Structure 1
Amino acid sequence: MSTLYPFKFKTIYKDKIWGGDKVNTYLHKNFSPLPNCGETWEISGVKSDVSVVENGDLKGKSLADIVEEYRGELVGDKVYAHFGNTFPLLVKFIDANDDLSIQVHPNDELAKKRHNSFGKTEMWYVIQADPGSTLIAGFNQKVDEKIYLEKLNNGQLMDILNREDVNAGDVFFLPAGRVHTIGKGLLIAEIQQTSDITYRIYDFDRVDDHGNKRELHTEEALAALDYNVYPDYKTVYTPAVNEAVNVARCQYFTTNVLQFTQPTNRDYSAFDSFVIHVCVEGAYTLTSNDQSIEVKMGDCILIPATENYVELQTQTGFKILESYIE
């Protein structure tokens, strides 16, 4: 059995009707040209798109293979006991060259009942935002199913949705059930439960190259939606340099923003979990147990649960999203 080490995976590229080219021009990824690259999946245990190791002795192995082989050594004993051979998080970059559909995701209970799947709670970190960019998160007033359907059927859905102005560095936490969409001009890092279940509510009457509208899931969405209104949809946090700032904490993941202008060490010895680094700015060298990996903006690294300490060396500074399960 090979010794575990920090993993980098081959990027999975997704063509989307609303996608653009920022994953190439802004994140500087090299990929076979896609007409509209809307998403890249960087760490995925979704059965239809399982990530493949790109570096080290286990290069070519799938994430599913190494979870099954290494179990708690890779993901943490507590995490493995709960999730088994399914890696529990999915990490994406999303480039919205146009508005995404208005949508909602089911919670664990509904997703299990309908799809034998996990639900989908997620968070967004805005890497780059074109001037005037917005997104939708939640309702702007208390509604119920009847009011919601009236607005939807009368073409007035936008009247009851909460629209937010967006800038780079903004964070949004979206529990399952919250209606949402990513607006045109946004490049986002997304951390979510391992699930690909989306109920599309409205798609702005768009058609594909063949003149076909995308499928809507009006009935499915009714039981999934949280109709309540909340005081804050954008996460309030104070950015800080050379320290970790927590921006999300839930049963599915904890995420910190680490912005450093100098080398630092991270102590993970108290964690019974893997750790994921999503580099959203700058570059650094990650060293663990005398093994080093170069990390730059757009890279995502999976650090096994057995790695208790990592050193982050940098000359240019960096900003990363650090995620794990508590």
Structure 2
Amino acid sequence: MRFYPLLFEPILKERIWGGTKLKSYLNKPIISEITGESWEISTIENDISIVSNGDFKGKSLNELINEFPKEILGSKVYVAFGKQFPLLFKYLDAREDLSIQLHPNDELAKKRHNSFGKTEMWYVMQADNDAELIVGFKKKSSPEEYTQHLKDKTLLNILDTKKVQNGDVFFLATGTIHAIGAGNVIAEIQQTSDITYRVYDFDRVDANGNKRELHNDLALEAINYDTVEAQRTYSKIENSANEIVNCQYFTTNFIPLNGQMSIQKTKDSFTVFMCVDNHFELICDGETYVYQKGDTVLIPAFLTDFQLNGKASILEIYIS
């Protein structure tokens, strides 16, 4: 069997806060003016990614993993997760502020939802002037203080707001209260989980006049009331893998490609490349594959030697 770099059909999600930048900025085939998310690689139930290129075109990622678990996932990932793809990759367009929310840890998520928790990171691909993110509390809080501010609709007074620009990175451990502000296009890497506890949504209503569901009772036990240092600084050495995040769930490097770069891997883990600016070529087994901004490509673990060529900003993700 010949393995090759895999692309997938984007799974597009309408959101009350979504817009049109996924098309204008990332060339996604959206048909709605409130498209908030493009799920690039997913094995969430009812949202399974389908291969869009090559011999495996039309097959689902789950089908491939079931048939070739070690070749796709890698031997180390297979031992740890079995035939489960452990990560979810997305692009998000926030035309308006997202709800204030958080995600439970593995223990709570397993107990309540039979799911992984949701540790995640954000890479800011494009930020309008004065675009912001909310990440954690300004100072150490408590369930009592938090609950009172929620009741008084003054929650924003105790949350930490960060002005952001292109290239900023935030790592969000489970329990961190957070929100993506209006005017951001974000690349998101996270555990395979769709468990979100929404705690405040600015009293918005949908087209039918209904408010979205909140999960305040579930959230109380899941929140981290300490302050967090979520923003990551990182090097930008050309043609090198500059580490941004290295946690038990994933490692993410930033590659500022300018020319050629050779990459050698073991067969321990798959690799994912998210092209967050410009375009590049990937040369593997004598074949050349071309990717542009907004493409997300899965390199099966079976492929260990390849070359990158071009001028691009790339996120490299794998499990170490």
TM-score (norm 2): 0.98
1: CA distance between counterparts of 2:233 and 2:95? 26
Residue 323 in 1 paired to residue 317 in 2? yes
2: CA distance between counterparts of 1:237 and 1:322? 14
Residue deviations 1:155-197 (CA, integer Å, cap 9, x gap): 1111111100100000000011100000000000000000001
Equivalent residue runs for 1:258-277 within 5 Å: 258-269=255-266, 272-277=268-273
Q: Which residue does 1:168 correspond to in 2?
A: 166
- Which region of structure 1 is more displaced relative to structure 2, 87-96 or 147-156? 147-156
Tell me how far 1:38 sits from its aligned partner.
Answer: 0.3
Tell me how far 1:143 sits from its aligned partner.
Answer: 1.0
Tell me how far 1:245 sits from its aligned partner.
Answer: 1.0
Residue 243 in 1 paired to residue 211 in 2? no
**Residue identity in the other structure for 1:281:** D
2: CA distance between counterparts of 1:69 and 1:221? 38
Tell me how far 1:242 sits from its aligned partner.
Answer: 2.5
Equivalent residue runs for 1:147-158 within 5 Å: 147-158=145-156
Q: What is the aligned counterpart of 1:199 among 188, 197, 200? A: 197
In 1, are the aligned partners of 2:136 and 2:159 still within 8 Å (CA)? yes
**Residue identity in the other structure for 1:88:** P
Tell me how far 1:29 sits from its aligned partner.
Answer: 2.3
Q: Which residue does 2:304 correspond to in 1?
A: 308
In 1, are the aligned partners of 2:235 and 2:243 still within 8 Å (CA)? no
In 2, are the aligned partners of 1:5 and 1:291 still within 8 Å (CA)? no
SS at match of 2:188: strand
Instruction: Structure 1 unaligned segments of length 5 or more: list them.
Output: none
Tell me how far 1:311 sits from its aligned partner.
Answer: 0.9
Q: What is the aligned counterpart of 2:72 among 65, 71, 74? A: 74
Q: Which residue does 1:28 correspond to in 2?
A: 27
**Residue identity in the other structure for 2:274:** V
**Residue identity in the other structure for 1:248:** V
Q: Once superposed, which parts of structure 1, at least 4 consecutive aligned residues long, lie more than 4 Å away? A: none
**Residue identity in the other structure for 1:27:** L
Residue deviations 1:135-158 (CA, integer Å, cap 9, x gap): 101111111111111111111111
Q: Which residue does 2:114 correspond to in 1?
A: 116
Residue deviations 1:63-96 (CA, integer Å, cap 9, x gap): 0111111011111112112212221110000000
Share of identical aligned residues, percent?
49
Residue 290 in 1 paired to residue 286 in 2? yes
SS at match of 1:243: coil
Instruction: Structure 2 unaligned segments of length 5 or more: list them.
Output: none
1: CA distance between counterparts of 2:15 and 2:66? 32
SS at match of 1:67: helix
2: CA distance between counterparts of 1:244 and 1:91? 19
Residue deviations 1:10-34 (CA, integer Å, cap 9, x gap): 1110000000111100112233x11
SS at match of 2:199: strand
Tell me how far 1:238 sits from its aligned partner.
Answer: 3.1
1: CA distance between counterparts of 2:66 and 2:106? 23
Q: Which residue does 2:57 correspond to in 1?
A: 59
SS at match of 2:117: coil
Q: What is the aligned counterpart of 2:179 among 159, 163, 181? A: 181
Residue 13 in 1 paired to residue 32 in 2? no
Q: Which residue does 2:231 correspond to in 1?
A: 234
2: CA distance between counterparts of 1:318 and 1:189? 15
Tell me how far 1:35 sits from its aligned partner.
Answer: 2.8
In 2, are the aligned partners of 1:67 and 1:85 still within 8 Å (CA)? yes
2: CA distance between counterparts of 1:279 and 1:113? 36
2: CA distance between counterparts of 1:22 and 1:239? 26
1: CA distance between counterparts of 2:140 and 2:109? 25
Q: What is the aligned counterpart of 1:132 among 118, 130, 133? A: 130
Residue deviations 1:203-250 (CA, integer Å, cap 9, x gap): 0000001110000000010111111113x3211223332322111110
How large is the Cα RMSD of the aligned pairs? 1.0
Q: Which residue does 2:275 correspond to in 1?
A: 279
How many residues align? The count is 320
**Residue identity in the other structure for 2:296:** C
SS at match of 1:162: strand
